[in-house]
């Protein structure tokens, strides 16, 4: 029993560290700072982080900075490379370019304006983590056969998406970094559902999946996913569960139905096409999806998606 409790406490400390890295990726981060924030010695923290994540803290931070920058270069065309370099934690654009080349195989400028995919070298994301980057899948410039096809897709998404201001929602989460491993999903959801059944009114519970990574860039086995349920402010959360919050603010939201692949492609359309076309700026927050029904026999399910925006004001994009 003591060993299980210790594992739960260690999992919470690692999750606390992952959250610090997520929200403060643009700041100076190191083992001393993060271990102190988690109230544990740096030697013990190094061990438990490596055990839980399968890579050292330094390797994790370096990879996350590149993945976040690669994502921002795609999603935020209105930010220049120097801004993205600074917000990703690099002291100079030159250091950023060197690190980006090392991981991705091309420069940040080439990644943003990719004209020749064959120019990509075998970067560290591939050679070390086995993540083959397909620029035709990752790249943000959607190609339509003609302007009418583009307009048709835009109109389809207009009918689905609304911009809504939401109040803060408190969540109880169980975090894992193997988010697309369906065999692992089952036990995670079973565990959090058992806890919810014992302590909460099931009729008032909302169930969310919280995604932190872009599947097209992050290695699959290292993706982070939280299974989460909404809880009242008065409920206390104990290890191995952690408290997260959906912040107050404006969200692009709407309902989607289909297979996991169908929904993934639709959400990608919203992030990489609709938001840009309609001039909304996505915030650098996790993506939330609320599960409205269990998966049916055909493998279809229904969700309500929530994409946090910088504000409800539109940006004029030329």
Range with top average pLDDT, 124-138, 233-247, 293-307: 233-247
pTM score, whole prediction:
0.89
C-beta of residue 64 within 8 angstroms of C-beta of residue 19: no
150 inside domain: no
What percent of the chain clears pLDDT 90, i.e. is strictly above it? 52
Tokens of 157: 């998404």
Indicate which CATH number applies to the domain containing 113: 1.10.10
More confident position, 61 or 197 = 61
Whether 152 maps to a domain, the answer reads no
Beta-bridge partners for 59? none
The residue-averaged pLDDT of 303-316 equals 83
**Domain end call among 28, 54, 80:** 54
- Of 13, 37, 54, the last residue of a domain is 54
Are residues 267 and 182 part of one domain? Answer: yes
Tell me whether residue 293 is in a domain. Answer: yes
184 lies in the same domain as 262: yes
Closest CA to 47 of 20, 3, 7: 7
Q: Please indicate, yes or no, if residue 249 is contained in any of the structural domains.
A: yes
> Are 259 and 282 part of one and the same domain?
yes
Q: How far apart are CA 290 and CA 278, in angstroms?
A: 24
**pLDDT classification of 307: cutoffs 50, 70, 90:** very high
Same domain, 78 and 205: no
**Could you list the residue range(s) of the whole structural domain that residue 190 is in?**
162-308
Note whether residue 102 is domain-resident: yes
Quote the pLDDT of residue 141.
55
Assess if residue 154 is contained within a domain. no
Q: Which pLDDT score is estimated for 204?
A: 78
Question: Domain for residue 157, yes or no?
Answer: no
What mean pLDDT is predicted for residues 1-10?
69
Question: In this structure, what CATH number is given to the domain that contains residue 277?
Answer: 3.20.80.10
Domain final residue pick, 141, 170, 200: 141
| pLDDT bucket at 238, cuts 50 / 70 / 90 | confident
207, 295: one domain: yes
If one counts the domains in the chain, the total is 3
Confidence of residue 114 (pLDDT cuts 50, 70, 90): confident
Contact at 8 Å (CB) between 83 and 98? no
Report yes or no on 314 lying in a domain: no
pLDDT at 223: 87
- Lowest mean pLDDT of 17-26, 177-186, 197-206, 269-278, name the range: 177-186
- The answer on 7 and 125 residing in a single domain is no
Examine the domain organization and report whether 171 and 258 are in the same domain. Answer: yes
* Res 178: pLDDT: 45
| Half-sphere exposure (Cβ direction) of 209: Cα atoms closer than 13 Å | 25
pLDDT band of residue 75 (cuts 50, 70, 90) is confident
Are 173 and 236 part of one and the same domain? yes
Same domain, 12 and 69: no
Omega before 240 within 30 of 0, i.e. cis: yes
Residues 6+ apart with CB under 8 A from 61: 21, 25, 29, 89
């Amino acid at each position: 029993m003591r060993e299980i409790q210790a594992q739960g406490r260690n999992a919470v400390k690692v999750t606390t560290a992952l959250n610090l890295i997520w929200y403060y990726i643009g700041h100076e981060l190191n083992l001393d700072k993060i271990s102190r924030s988690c109230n544990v010695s740096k030697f013990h923290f190094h061990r438990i982080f490596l055990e839980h994540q399968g890579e050292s803290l330094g390797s994790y931070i370096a990879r996350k900075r590149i993945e976040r920058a690669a994502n921002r270069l795609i999603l935020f065309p209105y930010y220049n490379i120097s801004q993205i370099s600074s917000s990703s934690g690099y002291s100079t654009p030159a250091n950023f370019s060197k690190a980006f080349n090392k991981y991705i195989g091309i420069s940040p400028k080439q990644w943003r304006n990719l004209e020749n995919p064959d120019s990509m070298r075998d970067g560290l994301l591939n050679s070390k983590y086995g993540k083959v980057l397909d620029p035709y899948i990752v790249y943000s410039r959607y190609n339509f056969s003609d302007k009418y096809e583009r307009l048709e897709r835009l109109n389809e998404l207009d009918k689905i998406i609304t911009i809504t201001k939401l109040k803060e929602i408190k969540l109880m989460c169980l975090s894992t970094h193997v988010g697309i491993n369906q065999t692992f999903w089952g036990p995670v959801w079973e565990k959090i559902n058992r806890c919810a059944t014992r302590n909460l009114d099931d009729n008032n519970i909302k169930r969310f999946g919280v995604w932190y990574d872009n599947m097209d860039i992050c290695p699959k086995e290292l993706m982070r996913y939280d299974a989460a349920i909404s809880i009242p402010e008065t409920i206390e959360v104990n290890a191995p569960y952690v408290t997260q919050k959906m912040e107050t603010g404006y969200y692009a939201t709407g309902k989607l139905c289909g297979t996991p692949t169908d929904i993934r492609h639709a959400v990608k359309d919203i992030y990489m096409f609709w938001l840009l076309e309609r001039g909304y700026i996505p915030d650098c927050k996790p993506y939330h999806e609320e599960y409205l029904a269990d998966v049916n026999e055909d493998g279809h399910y229904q969700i309500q998606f929530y994409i946090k925006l910088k504000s409800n004001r539109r940006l004029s994009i030329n």
